[in-house]
Structure 1
Amino acid sequence: MKITRVETFSVPPRWLLCRVETDEGLVGWGEPVVEGRAATVRTAVHELAELLVGKDPLRIEDHWQLMTKGSFYRGGPVLSSAVAGLDQALWDLAGKALGVPVHVLLGGPVRERVRAYCWVGGDEPGEVADAIRAQVEAGFTAVKMNASGRMNRLATVTDLNLVVGRAEAAREALGPDRDFAVDFHGRFALANARKVLPLLAPTNPLFAEEPLLPEYTPLLGGLVSASPVPLATGERLYSRTEVLPALQAGIAVLQPDLSHAGGISEVRRIAALAETFDVPLAPHCPLGPVALAASLQIAFATPNFLIQEQSIGIHYHTGAELLDYVVDREVFRFHEGHFRRPTGPGLGVEVDERAVRQADGREPDWRGPIWRHPDGSFAEW
C-alpha cells in the first residue's frame, strides 16, 4: 500500500482537515490546525506531504521522525500542528487497514467510557449559573468556564470579585457532586494569579487552567507552591521537551492538544512522561470531529487520563458544528456526560466527505479577537 495523495480542507467555523489517500482505496483523516492560522498550517501540510506520497503509510514512526526532524528548523505550533494532522491520518489508515480502532493498536482499552466536560462561557455569574444548570440537566458532571474577560495587569478589587463571583455561581449551580474548571487563558499576570487562586479555593475548582502564559513556564513552580487550587497547562506546549519543565514545576493536570502536539504519536509519549510525575491528562480539544476522535483514542488507551474537552455546543463556534462533518453522530453521543468506547476501525469516526468538500473555503479563515487595555495597549485574549 502506498500514499497517492494528500488533500486539505478549510471548513467553518475554524478547522482544517486533511485527507490521505492510498492506492488501495483506503483513506485516512486528520485535523492539522492552529486556530487563526489555518492557511499557514495548510501550506506546511502540503510541504510535509512531499515526504509521504509514494510511501507506505504504515511506517508511522518513521514518517513522524522525518516530518519532525527532516528539516534543519524544527518545532513550533505551525509545524507541530501540520505533523499532528498527518500523524492522525496515518494512524486512521493503520487502524482501517488492520480492521481495529487505534486504541487497540496502542495496547488496548483501559476503560469503557470517557468523562467529558462542556464549555459554559464565563462572562456573567447569573448567565453562568443558568448555562451550568442546563448542562447538569443534560447529564454532564463537569463544565469549564473562563475565569474572566480582559484582565488588568494588576487586578482591582472589582476584577477579583467578578472572578470569585463566577466561581461561586458555578459551585452553587453544580452542588458538591459535580466539577467545574476555570480557564485563566493566559490572561493573568503572575501577581494576579497569586492573588486570585487562594480566593477561589473555597469553591473547589477541579483545576485552574493556564494560569500563566507558556513563555512563563519557569515561573510555574513558585505559583504551584503558592496555590491551593490544582493547576493545569499544556495546550500551547508542543512536545515532550516543552512539557517536561511544566511537569517538573509540579502542575496537577497536563493538557496536550492532539492537533498541536505532534498528533497521536507524540501525545502518547507525553502521556507516558506525565505518568512518571503522577500527573493525569485532560486533552485540550475545542476543535473539530477528527481532533476529538483522535483525543478519544488516546483517552481509551491511557491509564493516567482524567477528562476530555470537547466543542459540541461551545459558545464561540458559529456557522457550523462538529457534528455537521460526520456521517454517524452516534460515536459522539453523550451518555451521562461520558463518551462510550468507539469500536469502528481507525479513529472510529466516518467523515462526511461531501460535506467537507462543500464547506471548503466557504468562509474566510477565522481570526482570534484583538483585545486592548483601557490605555490602548495590547491585552491577552
Structure 2
Amino acid sequence: MTQSPTIPLPPPAERRRLRESQSLTQAQVAELVGVSRETVRAWETGRTTPRGRKAQTYASLLAPTPTPTPASAPAPAAVTATKDVVAADTSPPTAPLTPAQAFDALYAFCAPALVRQTYLLTGRRELARESVERAFQLAWHRWPEVAVDPDPAGWVRATAYECALSPWHRFRARHRHPEAPPAEAADRALLSTLLTLPPPYRRTLVLHDGVGLGLPETAAETEASTRAAAGRLLHARETVATRLPDLADPAHLSSGLAGLAAHARLRAARPSAVRACSERRARNWTQAAIAFTVALIGATTFTLHTAPTRYEPPVAPGTTVQGVPPQAAPGPLSRTERNLRERLQNTMPSGPQRVHPEPR
C-alpha cells in the first residue's frame, strides 16, 4: 500500500454543508483547529487549503470516524480514507431517494435554523414560520428545478428572506401590532437594534455574521456587488457597536445573534404538512385558472353572437340652417287670401288650346 502524501478533504462546496450537519459554527471550528474564523471561511470558499496537522484535524471534524486505528497501522488518516473507499466500493448500491424523501431531508436539515434566521430579520415569530413554510412550499412546487440546483439550501434561504422582508406584510392586520419582546434584556436590545437597520443591511449582517457566509456569497445572495455588500456590513456593524458596545467585536456579535435566535424557541412544521399545503395551493390555483379561462371563453362566445355582423354608420346629429323663415302654422284664411283663392278658381288659365286628335 502506498501512503498518500495529502490529507483527503471534501470539495470546498461540501465543507460548509458538512460543518452545518455537525451543528458547528465557523467560530467553533476555528477554535478546535487552532486558526482564525477568516481562515475557516477561506477553506470553505476554496481560496486556501489546510495542510499538515490542521488539515487532519479539520478532516476529522467534517467526517469523524468512531472506529479506533491500531497503533501498528501506518498513516491513520490515509488508512481510514482507504477503508472508506473500499467500503464504498463493496457496499451494495442504495436505492435513490424519492422526491418526497429528498424534500423531507432538505427540510429537516434547513428548516429549524432557517426559522431562527428569519426571526432575526423580522422580529416576529409567526411571520418567520410563515415565510419559511412558504419558501418550502415554493420549493416543493418547483422541486425539479430546486433538486438540481447547486445549492438547494441557499435557494430556499433566499426565498424565505424575500418572503419575510416583503413590504406587503404591513397591510396585514395581524402584523400591525408588535409581538412580545424576548425575555432577556440583552436579546431585546440586540433585536431592537437589528430592526432599526434597513432591510438590505439587516439581511447582509445576518448572512455574514449570523449564517457565516463569506463576503462574495453574501453579495451574490443579496444581489449586490462585493463592494456594496462590504459597505452594508460595515455600516450595520457600526450601528450595532454604537448602541451595544459589548458587541463591537464581530465574534461577539456572531455569538449574540446565535444566542438571540436560540432563545426564540421556534419550531417548524412537519414536512408532510408543508408538502400537502403546497399541493393544495397548486390545485386551488389550477382550478382558479381553469374557471377564469372558461369565463373568458364564455364572454367571448356571447360577444361574437350578439355583436352586429355589418357596419352601420352612425346618424349625424341635426343642425340648424340659418336664414330660412319659420313655417307658418295652419289657421283661418284672411279676406285677402280668400279673394285670391276665388279669383284663381274662377279665372281660366291662359295658354295654348288643347289639341284633340282628328280621325282620318
Same fold (TM over 0.5): no
For normalisation by structure 1, the TM-score amounts to 0.22
If asked which structure has higher relative contact order (CA below 8 Å, sep 6+), I would say 1
More strand by share: 1
For normalisation by structure 2, the TM-score amounts to 0.23
More helix by share: 2
Q: Which has the larger radius of gyration?
A: 2
